[in-house]
Structure formats: structure tokens, C-alpha cells
Structure 1
Amino acid sequence: MAETDQKPDINASEHVNIRVVAQDGNVVQFKIKKKAQLRKLMTAYTERLGLQEGSVIFLYDGLRIQREQTPNDLGMEEEAQLEVMMAQEGGG
């Protein structure tokens, strides 16, 4: 039997690096599993910066991200970039 059967690179396929860019240009990088809910990233980001979770929103390709979504759900590739903005209340 030929040794053409190669094991897939598990690390490359299970995780994705995501850059979170704030309005002031500050960048925080995360590495998470593609099947993990983005809730983990959002919580880690707000805790790291001392913010309340509801005080910011996260956008991917200009669309607001839901906490239950995963990188796979959004089709994120390696070095995906999220924008984070201060949430605005009101309207009137």
C-alpha cells in the first residue's frame, strides 16, 4: 500500500485567527475554533478592555454579529477582521 494517505492538518482547519479592530485603531488578535460561538471572543474582548458586554457591538463585513454565531456560520477565513464600535442607544 502506498503512503499517499496523509492526515489532514487539524490545527489549520479547526481554528481561525481573528483581528478585532476598534474605532480608535486599537487591534486585539484572537485565535478561536471555527465552531465556537463568537460569544467567547466578545466576552474576552470586553473583559480585556474593562468594558461592559452590552456597551459595544461587533461587525463583520458591515453586519452586526450575533453572540451565537460561529466563524463557520459567517464564512470567516484566516485573518478575518471584525470591527468593534460603541453601542448607541436611543432614537427617540
Structure 2
Amino acid sequence: MSAADKKPLIPPSHITIKIKSQDDICVYFRIKRDVELRTMMQAYSDKVGQQMSAFRFHCDGIRIKPNQTPNELDLEDGDEIDAFVDQIAGFSHRH
């Protein structure tokens, strides 16, 4: 096995997660399995220049809460989280 074939070692306490936006832009994070996902969500929001409240984060169709951890969600190394822009519904009110 050549050096190019070897994957970097990730401690078992860490996993790499991909956050994918609606326009297929991907950002990768290495996080601890027992740390709240709030940290990663905030880092993603900062990276794309938006407030964290502007996004809904989903994994396998289930909305993720900021206080959940990868362990609670059974996330594995390489899993993908979808970031959706939170649409605010409204209507036009005519006078």
C-alpha cells in the first residue's frame, strides 16, 4: 500500500461530517462524537456568512437540534448533513 492510499488516522472519538447546502456546496468538519452539534452549525453559518437561525439542518430527513450530539444521532464518519435556508412564509396584505 502506497502512502497515497493511506487515509489519515482520525481518533475514534472524532468523526468527519459533510454539510451540504441546497446549491451543492460542501463544507467538511471534524468533530468529537460527544460535543453538541451547535458548535459545527455555528461554524458553518459563520463560514457562509449567515446567522445560524437562517438554516435548518437535517440528516436522513430528520431535523437536527443544536443540543444533539453525533452519538445521539448515531452519526458515523463521512455522514452528510443537509443545510436548508429557512424560508419565512409570508403574504401580501393589501389595504
Give the TM-score normalised by structure 1.
Answer: 0.84
1:3-82 matches, cutoff 5 A: 11-82=10-81
Q: Give CA-to-partner distance per residue, 1:47-91, whole Å, 9 cap, x none.
A: 011101110110010111000000000000110100000002237
Match of 1:60, as an amino acid? C
Amino acid at match of 1:79: G
Q: Give SS of 1:42's match.
A: helix
Q: Please give the secondary structure, in 2, of the residue aligned with 1:45.
A: helix
Residue 88 of structure 2 aligns with which residue? 89
Backbone CA RMSD of aligned residues: 1.3
Identity %: 34
Rounded to whole Å, the distance in 1 between the matches of 2:79 and 2:11 is 14
**Structure 1: which 5+ residue stretches go unaligned?**
1-10
TM-score, normalised by the number of residues in structure 2: 0.81
Equivalent residue letter for 2:31:
I
Structure 2 unmatched runs, 5+: 1-9
SS state of the match for residue 28, structure 2? strand
- Could you say which structure has the higher helix fraction? 1
State which drifts further: 19-28 or 82-91: 82-91
Query: Corresponding residue for 1:3?
Result: none
